[in-house]
Amino acid sequence: MNIILIGPPGAGKGTQAKRLVSERGMVQLSTGDMLRDAKTSGTEMGNLVADVMARGELVTDDIVIGLIAEKLDSLDGAGAIFDGFPRTLAQADALEALMASKGSEIAHVIEMRVDDDALVARITGRFTCANCGEVYHDTTRQPKQSGVCDICGGTEFTRRSDDTEDALRTRLMAYYKQTSPLLGYYHAKGRLKTVDGMGGMDAVSTQISDILTN
Ligand code: AP5
């Protein structure tokens, strides 16, 4: 089963995608992670997108569609969780065509709804293990042992360069202007489900699980 998690920055898409990977053996396809990897490796494309991402604007459709097309070839039958893709109508159309070409489809598009004030608190408090990428938060999810990653034991943590209030304002604007029209697009196709993303992480997981099993 293939699903899309859609929601504004900080809605919890990555957090829930990682849970689905470990609980259901699905594969997370996060265009944000792919672009950050390209930046870190200093590829030509990574250098091209670095400033755009730091400002909180969207990268061009052709770049992200190319990244997803490449990953789809290696799925090998596992269910995909699209996290942060598609983000524009052009990307949604491209995904429909790519899935159809593989004889596959999107089963559910899950909108994660969170208030703007909560998004600001989530984004500005987020930090990540520099070694394994596990995501934490200053108040809602600290490592069990302070300064040591629960997953890999790493002791170095990073904060994303676009997790500033300025960049977040631009990211939110991009979401409402360019991505939220996709809610209507998927509603019209009868695939849109909405979860209340304001609850705790377990409560959100339960709502998503209910959608996937019903
Ligand atoms: P991307 O990496 O996709 O970022 P985003 O959509 O802004 O989403 P985030 O990763 O910031 O948030 P999330 O919803 O995953 O929240 P998380 O689970 O981490 O994109 C970054 C940039 O790349 C874009 O701005 C753009 O430039 C470019 N890009 C990417 N894809 C693109 C595309 N398709 N087209 C064009 N450009 C693209 O949670 C956040 C925090 O909250 C964490 O600390 C977490 O612990 C905490 N938290 C999570 N859930 C809860 C909860 N239920 N209660 C309390 N705290 C919670």
| CA of 171 relative to ligand 1 center, distance in Å | 10
Q: Which of 13, 18, 19, 39 is catalytic?
A: 13
SS3 78: coil
| DSSP H or E segment with residue 171 | helix 165-174
The SS3 assignment for 96 reads: helix
Q: Is 126 designated active site? A: yes
Q: Is 90 helix (H, G, I), strand (E, B) or coil?
A: helix
Q: Which mutation among 5, 122, 169 tests ligand 1's pocket best, with the greatest number of atoms within 8 A of CB?
A: 122
Q: Token pair for residue 65?
A: 């569609």
In angstroms, the CA 80 to CA 61 distance is 20
The residue from 55, 160, 191, 193 that is catalytic is 160
pTM over 0.85: yes
Asked whether the beta carbons of 60 and 174 are under 8 A apart, the reply is: no
- Per-residue pLDDT of the chain (214 residues), as tens digits, is 999 999 999 999 999 999 999 999 999 999 999 999 999 999 999 999 999 999 999 999 999 999 999 999 888 788 999 999 999 999 999 999 999 999 999 999 999 999 999 999 999 999 999 999 999 999 999 999 999 999 999 999 999 999 998 999 999 999 999 999 999 999 999 999 999 999 999 999 999 999 999 7
The minimum-distance atom of ligand 1 relative to the CA of 35 is: 23
Catalytic site residue 141? no
With the most atoms of ligand 1 within 8 angstroms of its CB, the residue from 58, 85, 178, 198 to mutate is 58
All residues at 6 or more sequence positions from 212 whose CB lies less than 8 Å from its CB, including other chains = 1, 3, 24, 108
57-64 LR contacts (CB < 8 Å, sep 24+): 57/170, 57/174, 58/87, 58/88, 58/174, 58/178, 59/31, 59/35, 61/88, 61/90, 61/91, 61/94, 63/35, 64/31, 64/35, 64/91
In whole angstroms, give the CA distance from residue 22 to residue 15.
11
pLDDT at 139: 93
Residue with tokens 């489809």: 105
Given 126, 169, 189, 193, which residue is catalytic? 126
